[in-house]
């Protein structure tokens, strides 16, 4: 007779086979798994219940950790909506605009539209909910290529979004408007429905972001068909609208975020010190900071490293073929030392007057390779693993913000370097360079460490001292990054960095 461990192993094998067929597995009742296996894995922490009858894969000991939920969120939404409504559903116009604009934050409440809906709130994990509203669907439904979600088309979403969306999330609204390059699809929707009020709102919105020619065409065509249209700008009076030229919504979002956040940085960061005149003295100070920097930076990432281990690595006593070979903390510490030396070489070039953005673009991949080179030497990674950016989706532990999809990363990274290259103020380069890098999360691992290297390289470009984010500030640091990622407010993060820079 099988013991408890053997029975659990049998159930886990069933789960493994299901996940091999469907990596983003969402379980609904006992449709594809027996009640026995379901209950066994649920009681042992290998499944988490989202709502009655709906489950996602989990890990024992992850109770209270939101990462599994945020990883599965959009896959759950699609599976739930397909199961309940078939093909007769879509996200709301407003949520569709979020997707079209490249916004990746998991919302607290998501509105679905369906003629089969019952207008009842569906409570989910960690305070999240769905609100399926009974509503006829627009004819202009498109499929999201990443999660398989049903969305309003870009033009249809702009037409049917509530006026408040334009003022409450003006960044997303402006990004979507920037992607409109002709009036035809908007006019088809507006004229078919005689939507004069909506037409006036679209015309006003387009004109405010520099799309006057398209706005004029919509206005004249509506009047030609006998409609009376009054132009109305839906953006609030204090909203700064911007003309954006970008094919990618992710690039457009970065430009909007940079312009908005730059003002917050300048308001909350002290003025620039004098330029560095003694490069060697500055670099000697950087060397003096190494032990402190390595200990805190690695500890923030959750690695168990001691100051003794870090000092051992620096002194050259660490031997990759000796007792430390299989010790991950030792490999990580050695990689950090090698990356630190590479960053210091980059700082030397920056202090010598080379454009900081150019140096970052040229050298950041070398920092990354040096960080993980000991894992190649140990046979854990291959050389090809260190080439290029990630090709899979990555998630940040406990964060509502979902980093960009792999295809978007290739658009976003060159834009980040362009923004840094063209930014004249080192305070902005430092704060936003760090934030934008971890917002994109271009690598599968090591993004936080590289982000802090970027912070210090850009601080050096303005003569600021090498600055350590201490472990005791980890909660404040992560919370400030989360606030910036989710709500677009970089003030807390800026004040934290400014405070740390000012420390003796």
Residues 258 and 206 grouped into a single domain: no
Looking at the 3D structure of the chain, how many domains does it have?
3
Q: Which of these ranges, 15-24, 126-135, 241-250, 469-478, has the smallest mean pLDDT? A: 241-250
Residues 50, 142 within the same domain: no
* Same-domain pairing of 338 and 476: yes
- At 265 the pLDDT is 97
pLDDT at 374 over 50: yes
Residues 187, 97: one domain? yes
Mean pLDDT value across residues 418-432? 96
Same structural domain, 301 and 421: yes
Provide the pLDDT for residue 311. Answer: 74
Q: How far apart are CA 172 and CA 253, in angstroms?
A: 7
Domain match, 94 and 55 both: no
* Type and span of the H or E element at 96: helix 93-100
Angle at 73 between CA 144 and CA 138, to 5 degrees: 40
What is residue 315's three-state secondary structure? helix
- Check pLDDT > 80 for residue 504: no
User: What tens digit of pLDDT does each residue of 334-372 get?
Assistant: 999 999 999 999 999 999 999 999 999 999 999 999 999
The predicted pLDDT at position 398 comes to 84
Higher pLDDT, 449 or 304: 449
Question: Which helix or strand (DSSP H or E) is residue 57 part of?
Answer: strand 54-57
- pLDDT recorded at residue 62: 76
In the chain the first and final C-alpha atoms are separated, in Å, by 67
pLDDT at site 330: 84
State the CB neighbour count (10 A cutoff) for residue 246: 17
26, 79 in Cβ contact below 8 A?
yes
| pLDDT 10s digits, 72-108 | 999 999 999 999 999 999 999 999 999 999 998 999 9
Which DSSP helix (H) or strand (E) runs through 481?
helix 474-487
Question: What does the pLDDT look like over 429-442, one tens digit per residue?
Answer: 999 999 999 999 99
- Domain endpoint, select from 189, 224, 259: 224
Quote the domain boundaries for residue 212: 89-224
Percent of the chain exceeding pLDDT 90 equals: 76
CATH code of the domain in which 393 resides: 1.10.3290.10
Are 432 and 260 within 8 A, CB to CB? no
Same domain flag for 346 and 475: yes
Last residue of a domain, which of 63, 80, 101?
63
Q: How far apart are CA 370 and CA 362, in angstroms?
A: 14
Average pLDDT of span 125-154: 95
What percentage of the chain has pLDDT greater than the value 70? 96
Strands 54-57, 27-28: pairing kind:
antiparallel
* pLDDT score for 31: 85
Distance of CA 173 to the CA centre of its chain: 18
Under the banding of pLDDT at 50, 70 and 90, the label for residue 326 is very low
Distance CA 194, CA 299 (A): 61
Q: Are residues 491 and 384 in the same domain?
A: yes
The DSSP call for residue 384 is G
Write the pLDDT tens digit of every residue in 262-290: 999 999 998 877 788 899 999 999 999 99
Residues 6+ apart with CB under 8 A from 92: 111, 112, 113, 133, 152
Q: Does 445 reside within a domain?
A: yes
Residues 41 and 94 in one domain: no
Average confidence score pLDDT of the chain? 91
Q: What is the pLDDT of residue 320?
A: 52
Global pTM?
A: 0.86
Cα-to-chain-centroid distance, residue 250: 10
Do 53 and 144 reside in the same domain of the chain? no
Q: Which two tokens stand for residue 437?
A: 């890098």
The pair of structure tokens assigned to 338 is: 């090698």
How many other C-beta atoms can be found within 10 angstroms of the C-beta atom of residue 86? 10
Say if 237 falls within a structural domain: no
Q: How many Cβ atoms sit within 10 Å of the Cβ of residue 79?
A: 22
Between β-strands 47-51 and 54-57, what pairing exists: parallel, antiparallel or unpaired? antiparallel
Which of 330 and 258 is assigned the larger pLDDT?
258
Residue in the structure block whose two tokens are 């920092």 = 367
The pLDDT of residue 246 is 66
Q: Which of 14, 48, 63 is the last residue of a domain?
A: 63
Question: Is 419 domain-assigned?
Answer: yes
Question: Which pLDDT value is given to residue 324?
Answer: 46
Pair 115, 42 in one domain: no
In SS3 terms, 253-270 reads as HHHHHHHHHHHHHHHHCC
The 10s digit of each residue's pLDDT in 182-240 is 999 999 999 988 899 999 999 999 999 999 999 999 999 999 999 999 999 999 877 77
**276 and 345, same domain (yes or no):** yes
Q: What is the pLDDT of residue 135?
A: 95
Whether 325 shows a pLDDT value over 50: the answer reads: no
Does 2 have pLDDT greater than 80? no
Name the E strands within 295-399: none
The answer to whether the CB of 385 falls within 8 A of the CB of 372 is yes
């Amino acid at each position: 007779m099988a013991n408890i461990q053997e029975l659990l192993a049998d159930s886990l094998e069933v789960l493994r086979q299901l996940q091999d067929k469907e990596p983003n597995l969402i379980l609904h009742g006992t449709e594809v798994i027996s009640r026995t296996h379901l209950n066994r894995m649920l009681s042992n922490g290998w499944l988490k219940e989202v709502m009655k009858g709906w489950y996602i894969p989990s890990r024992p000991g992850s109770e209270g950790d939101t990462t599994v939920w945020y990883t599965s969120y959009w896959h759950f939404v699609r599976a739930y909506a397909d199961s309940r409504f078939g093909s007769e559903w879509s996200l709301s116009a407003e949520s569709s605009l979020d997707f079209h604009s490249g916004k990746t934050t998991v919302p607290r409440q998501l509105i679905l539209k369906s003629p089969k809906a019952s207008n009842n709130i569906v409570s989910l994990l960690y305070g999240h909910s769905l609100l399926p509203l009974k509503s006829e669907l627009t004819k202009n439904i498109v499929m999201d290529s990443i999660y398989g979600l049903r969305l309003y088309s870009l033009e249809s979403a702009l037409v049917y979004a509530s006026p408040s969306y334009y003022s409450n999330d003006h960044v997303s609204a402006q990004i979507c408007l920037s992607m409109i390059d002709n009036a035809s699809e908007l006019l088809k929707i507006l004229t078919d429905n005689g939507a004069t009020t909506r037409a006036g709102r679209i015309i006003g919105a387009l004109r405010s972001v520099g799309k006057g020619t398209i706005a004029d065409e919509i206005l004249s065509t509506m009047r030609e068909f006998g409609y009376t249209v009054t132009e109305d700008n839906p953006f609030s009076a204090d909203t700064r609208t911007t003309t954006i030229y970008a094919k990618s919504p992710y690039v457009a979002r970065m430009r909007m975020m940079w312009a908005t956040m730059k003002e917050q940085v300048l308001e909350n960061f002290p003025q620039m010190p004098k330029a560095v005149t003694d490069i060697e003295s500055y670099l000697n100070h950087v060397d003096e900071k190494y032990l402190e920097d390595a200990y805190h930076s690695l500890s923030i990432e959750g690695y168990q490293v001691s100051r003794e281990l870090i000092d051992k690595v620096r002194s050259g006593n660490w031997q990759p073929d000796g007792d430390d070979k299989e010790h991950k903390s030792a490999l990580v510490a050695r990689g950090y030392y090698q990356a630190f030396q590479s960053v210091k070489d980059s700082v030397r070039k920056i202090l010598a007057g080379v454009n900081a953005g150019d140096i970052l673009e040229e050298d950041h991949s070398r920092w990354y390779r040096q960080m993980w080179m000991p894992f190649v030497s140990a046979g854990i990674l291959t050389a090809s693993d260190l080439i290029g950016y990630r090709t899979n989706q990555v998630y940040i532990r406990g964060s509502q913000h979902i980093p960009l999809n792999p295809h978007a990363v290739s658009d976003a990274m060159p834009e980040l370097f362009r923004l840094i290259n063209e930014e004249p103020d080192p305070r902005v380069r430092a704060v936003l360079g760090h934030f934008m890098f971890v917002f994109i999360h271009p690598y599968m691992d090591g993004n936080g460490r590289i982000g802090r290297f970027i912070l210090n390289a850009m601080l050096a470009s303005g003569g600021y001292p090498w600055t350590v984010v201490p472990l005791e500030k980890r909660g404040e640091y992560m919370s400030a990054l989360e606030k910036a990622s989710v709500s677009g407010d970089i003030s807390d993060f800026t004040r934290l960095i400014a405070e740390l820079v000012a420390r003796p």
